[in-house]
Amino acid sequence: MNKKLSAVFYAINGTGIGHISRLNNIAEDMAWLCQHMDIEPRFEFLTTSDAPFVVTQFPTIKLPSKTTIKALGLPMKSTTAHIKTQIVTFLNAKAPDGLILDTNPKGSYQEFPFLKSLAKRTVFIDRARKMESITRQVKNNISLFDRVIVPETADTGASYPFHPNISFAGKIHGFKPEYSLSRDEVRTLFGIQQHEQLIYLSSGGGGDTNSEAFLGKWLDVVAEVIPHARVIVGYGPLYKGVIHYANRQAIPFTGTRVNRYFAGVDLAISAAGYNSVEELQAANVPTLFYGLEKGFDDQFDRIRQLQNKNLCTLGDINAPQESLHKALTRHSIVKAELKRQPYSHGSAIAAGQLLETLLMPKTFMLPATAITRAVSTLKSIRSNRMQSLLDQNQAA
């Protein structure tokens, strides 16, 4: 294998882990596709995220986030200037075939315009955001990228239709059926009895300042409304609050890849961040979503659109008991509607689109259909496993 492809995925910190996990999902699929086409993937992550351990398959360079700089009481201006220099030096030494960013086109410290010339190609992953956050400066930064990939379908529309090289991948998420446990396997792993329901509870990546209070409130309501249920509590990689080890219903989960267990969950209660919503929808989990106020992300609009299609239940953190009763009443309706939804192969499609862009200037030749065939193979593997999981759940 003498064909090589280098890429740097630049993941920026947020209150959740959407940026880094979405890029990681794409990078993992890109690596699979490369190996399938006899190309050696040389991928690295550069990140200011405070959850760098989300990335497990690639070397990761961790830089301080603005949150860390403030917490340490360091001077923001001089510290960020030093970090910018480190980023430029790193990319200049690597000179990768591709530089890929997500959500924030400016970079962590408004440095992307200085980085563009250090990579052969640049790609921006443009997930949905609040319209008021799409400023002229944001548009100007996005126009600097060689390609924009939107994790939506073409009929949904895009935030930046003005870009001359825009493509649509469909929803990008981390629920990958080939790594998922079946319903029976999940219930055996956690010791769930036949009469017990299994619920998944989350407040997203855990970085929200109210995560501890919200999780505690939902646990109290579940104990009152469904006393025979067990609850996998996904605290999220950024969570810093109290963990409920003594709660008899709670199964604390503090690691990553909790989505491996989604196929065995009867009901979920979750904040409506992009990744949480797409993973739970992909896994066909009837979910009570509650919205949190975020800068770029309109979680409330996301939930309303899904509830209008009977794909979830809209919850209210200020009326948790009423919300849970509503979710239980709607459970069979939502479950039936979710089964009608096709599995989204967004991460595999986005990986293929990225490869088309990054391989463009390479000197080695590939058959014109090589990428398409590799993406189709990966999609087929996932579709078959997803159908197997659904059949097993139906039998149970």
Beta bridge partners of 42: 6
Domain that holds residue 15: 3-172+344-392
Q: Could you tell me the pTM of the whole model?
A: 0.92
Q: Model confidence over 79-91: pLDDT tens digits? A: 999 999 999 999 9
For residues 366 and 37, the answer to whether their CB atoms sit within 8 Å is yes
Per-residue confidence (pLDDT) for residue 130, from 0 to 100: 65
Q: Residues 168, 183: one domain?
A: no
Beta-carbon contacts of 205 under 8 Å, excluding residues fewer than 6 positions away, are: 14, 15, 16, 17, 18, 51, 236, 237, 238, 239, 273, 275
190 C-beta neighbours (distance < 10 Å), count: 15
Given a cut of 70, the residues of the chain with pLDDT beneath it are: 1, 15, 130, 132-133, 155-162, 294-296, 395-396
CATH number of residue 103's parent domain: 3.40.50.2000
For residues 344 and 278, the answer to whether their CB atoms sit within 8 Å is yes
Q: How many domains does the chain have?
A: 2
Q: Residues 224, 310: one domain?
A: yes
Q: Residues 323, 263: one domain?
A: yes
Q: Residues 205, 273: one domain?
A: yes
Q: Residues 378, 299: one domain?
A: no
252 C-beta neighbours (distance < 10 Å), count: 13
Q: Model confidence over 101-150: pLDDT tens digits? A: 998 888 888 889 889 999 999 999 988 776 766 777 778 888 899 999 99
Per-residue confidence (pLDDT) for residue 160, from 0 to 100: 52
Tokens read off for 108? 């962590």
Beta-carbon contacts of 311 under 8 Å, excluding residues fewer than 6 positions away, are: 281, 334, 337, 338, 341
